[in-house]
Amino acid sequence: EVQLVESGGGLVQPGGSLRLSCAASGFTFSNFWMTWVRQAPGEGLEWVANINLDGSERSYLDSVKGRFTISRDNAKNSLYLHMSSLRAVDSAVYHCAIGWGWYEHWGQGTRVTVSS
């Protein structure tokens, strides 16, 4: 069974940093592109970043470029999102998802709240 379990969310002050993790199991992690998608409270889905199989290609939403870094460790079956210079508008539930195109499997998400 495919499982994606996010962790690392929490309350952080504006300008602060967090590192989110996504632990993957039930599939060959190194064979799949991975993605982060976020959803602010009461809002829609927003694609944040994706990463290719070996981490050599990464893409980002314009509003997070230079502040967020997506990475992966295939040996640990883990995906990461390092977030810095956090802003209130970054407050959301962050989901990891499998895939290059459409996303068949999603984690339940980890909540990030940016507030003083």
Partner 1 sequence: DIQMTQSPSSLSASVGDRVTITCRASQDISNFLAWYQQKPGKVPKVLIYTASTLQSGVPSRFSGSGSGTDFSLTISSLQPEDVATYYCQKYNSDPRTFGQGTKVEI
**Rounded to whole angstroms, how far apart are CA atoms 22 and 51?**
13
Evaluate whether 110 touches 94 at the Cβ level (below 8 Å): yes
> Out of 95, 110, 112, 114, which residue is the one contacting partner 1 (CB under 8 A)?
95
CB of 24 to partner 1, least distance (A): 15
User: Vertex 88, ends 82 and 94: CA angle to 5°?
Assistant: 45
User: Is there binding between residue 108 and partner 1 (CB under 8 A)?
Assistant: yes
**Rounded to whole angstroms, how far apart are CA atoms 60 and 62?**
6
- Which of 15, 40, 13 minimizes the C-alpha distance to 94? 40
User: Is there binding between residue 1 and partner 1 (CB under 8 A)?
Assistant: no
Window of 21-29, 72-80, 83-91, 105-113 that interacts with partner 1 by CB under 8 A: 105-113
CB of 106 to partner 1, least distance (A): 4
**Rounded to whole angstroms, how far apart are CA atoms 115 and 68?**
18
Window of 20-28, 71-79, 81-89, 99-107 that interacts with partner 1 by CB under 8 A: 99-107
Residue ranges binding partner 1 (CB under 8 A): 35, 44-47, 50, 59-62, 95, 100-104, 106-109
